[in-house]
Amino acid sequence: MNEQIKYYFIVNKWAGAHHSAQTWERLHQLLVQNAVNFERVVTKYPQHATQLAQEFADLHPQGWVIVAIGGDGTLLEVLNGVRRSKNTVPIGYVPAGSGNDFARAVGIASDPSTALQQLIQTTTPITLDIGAYQNQANQLTQYFTNNIGIGFDARVVYEANQGQKVRLSKWHLESMAYVSALLKTLMRQKGFPLTIDIDGERHEFANAFVVSLTNIKYFGGGVGIAPRANLHDGKLDVVITEKLSFFKFVKLFIKLLRGGKHLDMPDVFFKTGREIHVQAFENEHGQVNGEDLPLQAFDLKIWMTKQPFWFNHKAAASQE
Ligand SMILES: Nc1ncnc2c1ncn2[C@@H]1O[C@H](COP(=O)(O)OP(=O)(O)OP(=O)(O)O)[C@@H](O)[C@H]1O
């Protein structure tokens, strides 16, 4: 434990289909038992974590770690707040969401109490790749730890978020919401025209369907879309498929679930790159870190940058 470090916990009690509130009660007890020096704040509305993180980072340039407690969406909000600050503050993360893909990718324990122990035993920050993007519609620079998706995966997120997830969570069946969203999207999502420039090389797709620009191996709660993703190489992994027949899609999905053999299929486009410009010319669903982006004709510039995080180095090294 680094005695000099203090922790500012930003708790999203709405994450994990509201189970995060109980998780925080357990974590709070552990913090008190371990005499950890901390403050905490609870988010009051969506995007509040961004404001809280920015304000705190502005006032506390040194000696603090800002810790997101929630899912990948809460981590995303905290990251964007920290990046808006004039100070560089390391980010910690305790997974308490439904998907928790970032934790899975970097080796943070899925059990929140164990993840908290890992956090408070950390002594120095680790710097990892993150993605930055600018939507040409608003020119605002935003950041992500996990991935951006356009089309299929984004629509699954959108469909799953249409209320069923929270309703089903009462019986711990939130994964059913994703299965139902997946089937619905498979039937409804059409292919769309897409142009992508990867480090200056142009690729065109008449019928894009799955478009994943990813910094980590997983999306959608543990689906290994990019098994070769590396958080130290300064590159994003780009995985694209066009609309396939139902049987080809099932074949792809099986390969995907069986450890990433899908990248070798001729129907799958895979490249890595540092600077990406992606344009979809029709209104499509989008997602970033599992959060809906408004339906739009996407025109995004994406590049890589670095962010200090606060977690166990050994766990991260095993992801290289
Ligand atoms: N007080 C609040 N009231 C309502 N929504 C909130 C509040 N605070 C945060 N949120 C929203 O909760 C949403 C869910 O967060 P998050 O993604 O962290 O959890 P999750 O969806 O359960 O997990 P995962 O993304 O890992 O599957 C985010 O969109 C966030 O903006």
pLDDT digits (tens, 9 = 90+) for 13-27: 999 877 888 999 999
**Residue 40 falls within a domain, yes or no?**
yes
pLDDT tens digits along 60-76 = 999 999 999 999 999 99
CATH number (domain holding residue 20): 3.40.50.10330
Pick from 66, 104, 112, 313: which is nearest to 220 by CA? 104
The Å distance, Cα 96 to ligand 1 centre, comes to 10
**Could you tell me if residue 204 is inside a domain?**
yes
Does pLDDT of 51 surpass 90?
A: yes
User: Mean pLDDT for the chain?
Assistant: 91
> How many other C-beta atoms are found inside a 10 Å radius of the C-beta of residue 139?
8
Percent of the chain past pLDDT 90, that is, above it, reads 74
Instruction: State which H helix or E strand residue 176 sits in.
Output: helix 174-188
What is the gyration radius of the CA atoms in the chain, in angstroms?
Answer: 19
Decide if 119 is inside a domain.
yes
225 with 276, same domain: the answer is yes
Q: Quote the longest CA-to-CA distance of the chain.
A: 58
Query: Is 129 domain-assigned?
Result: no
* Final residue of a structural domain among 76, 101, 123: 123
The complex's ipTM works out to 0.95
- Reference 96, options 35, 41, 14; nearest CA is 14
Do both 240 and 152 map to the same domain? yes
**Ligand 1 center to 15 CA (angstroms):** 4
Task: Give the Å distance between the CA of 70 and the centre of ligand 1.
Answer: 7
Residue 144: CATH number of its domain: 2.60.200.40
Are 26 and 33 contacting, i.e. CB atoms less than 8 angstroms apart?
no
pLDDT in tens, 114-170: 999 999 999 999 999 999 999 988 889 999 999 999 999 999 989 888 756 556 565
185 and 276 assigned to the same domain? yes
pLDDT of residue 194: 98
Residue 196 forms part of a structural domain: yes
Nearest CA to ligand 1 atom 3: 45
Please choose, from the candidates 269, 288, 275, the residue with its C-alpha nearest in 3D space to the C-alpha of residue 145: 288
Nearest CA to ligand 1 atom 31: 46
- The answer to whether residues 108 and 210 belong to one domain is no
Please indicate, yes or no, whether residues 94 and 214 belong to a single structural domain of this protein. no
Q: Are residues 138 and 226 in the same domain?
A: yes
Domain boundary among 94, 123, 152: 123
Residue in this structure with the two tokens 């009660």, named with its chain if needed: 25
Residue 224 lies in a domain: yes
**Residue 187 CB neighbour total at 10 angstroms:** 8
Residues 194 and 235 in one domain: yes
Same domain, yes or no, for 180 and 296? yes
Ligand 1 geometric centre to CA of 18 (Å): 9
Nearest ligand 1 atom, CA 17: 22
Please state, in angstroms and rounded to a whole number, the distance separating the CA atoms of residues 65 and 60. Answer: 9
Q: Calculate mean pLDDT across residues 91-97.
A: 96
Q: Which residues line ligand 1 (CB under 6 A)?
A: 12, 14-17, 43-48, 70-74, 97-100, 221, 290-291
Instruction: Identify the domain boundary among 100, 123, 146.
Output: 123
Kindly tell me if the per-residue pLDDT of 257 is higher than 90: no
On whether both 275 and 160 belong to a single domain, the answer is yes
In-domain check, residue 313: no
Q: Give percent of the chain above pLDDT 70.
A: 93
Which pLDDT value is given to residue 320? 44
pLDDT of 187 above 70: yes
Domain, as residue range, for 156: 134-306
CA of 99 to the centre of ligand 1 (A): 11
Residue nearest to atom 30 of ligand 1 (CA): 46
Same domain, 152 and 114: no
Structure tokens at 320: 């290289």
Residue 315 has what pLDDT? Answer: 56
Question: Does 162 share its domain with 277?
Answer: yes
Asked if residue 110 and residue 213 are part of one domain, the reply reads: no
Number of domains in the chain: 2
Does a structural domain hold residue 318? no
